[in-house]
Each structure stands twice: as structure tokens, then as C-alpha cells.
Amino acid sequence: MEVLIIQKEAFEEMAAKFSRFTERMDAILAKQGGRSMNRWMDNQEVCRQLNISPRTLQTLRDNGTLAYSQINHKVFYKPEDVMRIVKPVERNREDRAV
């Protein structure tokens, strides 16, 4: 176990910066209507929602049809972006069936 000793002023400055950071994050979330950042969907959820394969999902990302964010090696999607492409995906499926 390691013990770290810091000056009181340094600790208070660090605590104040952390407090300002949390206030800014609260303000950002409030601007988004209180939406939580954990409401993003992963690949599996999107495939299930759209009834598509992972390869089709990759194509939607590659051709710019579906916006996404990547953290490390995990890909996330905003639910509103997924809902926006439900009808185009269904039309594409119907066109191929004909």
C-alpha cells in the first residue's frame, strides 16, 4: 500500500476543478432534456431492432447511412439515428424480395 501526501491547497484546487467539471456535465445533460448518456445502443441491439445481420450493419456504417460513435473497439448508436433508418431498411428489404 502506498500513501500519498499532498498540500491542502493542492487538494482543495483539485476538488474545486472536479466540482466545476460535474457542474458542466450536469448542464450538458440538462440541455439534452435530461437524457442519459447510457441510452446508446450497441451492435447487437441495433441488429435486433432492424432485423439485420452484423454485416449489413457494417455496410450501413461504411456507406454513411447510420451514424455511430466508437469507444475503444465498441461501437454505439443513438436510438434516434437507428429509428430514422427503419423505413429505408424495410424498403430495401421489400425491393430485394420482388
Confidence at residue 45, expressed as pLDDT on a 0 to 100 scale: 94
- List the chain pLDDT tens, one digit each, 98 residues: 899 899 999 999 999 998 888 888 777 767 766 555 458 999 999 999 999 999 999 999 999 999 999 998 999 999 999 999 998 888 888 888 77
Q: Which residues contact 66 (CB under 8 A, 6 or more apart)?
A: 46, 57, 60, 77, 81, 82, 85
- Across 1-98, where does the E strand assignment appear? 41-42, 69-71, 74-77
Confidence at residue 38, expressed as pLDDT on a 0 to 100 scale: 56
CA distance 32 to 58: 28
CATH code where residue 86 lies: 1.10.1660
Together in a domain, 32 and 73? no
Residue 58 domain-assigned (yes or no): yes
DSSP 8-state symbol, 66:
S
Confidence at residue 35, expressed as pLDDT on a 0 to 100 scale: 53
CA distance 29 to 18: 17
Confidence at residue 33, expressed as pLDDT on a 0 to 100 scale: 63
Confidence at residue 95, expressed as pLDDT on a 0 to 100 scale: 85
Distance of CA 38 to the CA centre of its chain: 7
Domain that holds residue 79: 40-97
Together in a domain, 26 and 53? no
The tally of domains found in the chain comes to: 2
Confidence at residue 22, expressed as pLDDT on a 0 to 100 scale: 85
Together in a domain, 29 and 50? no
Residues in the chain: 98
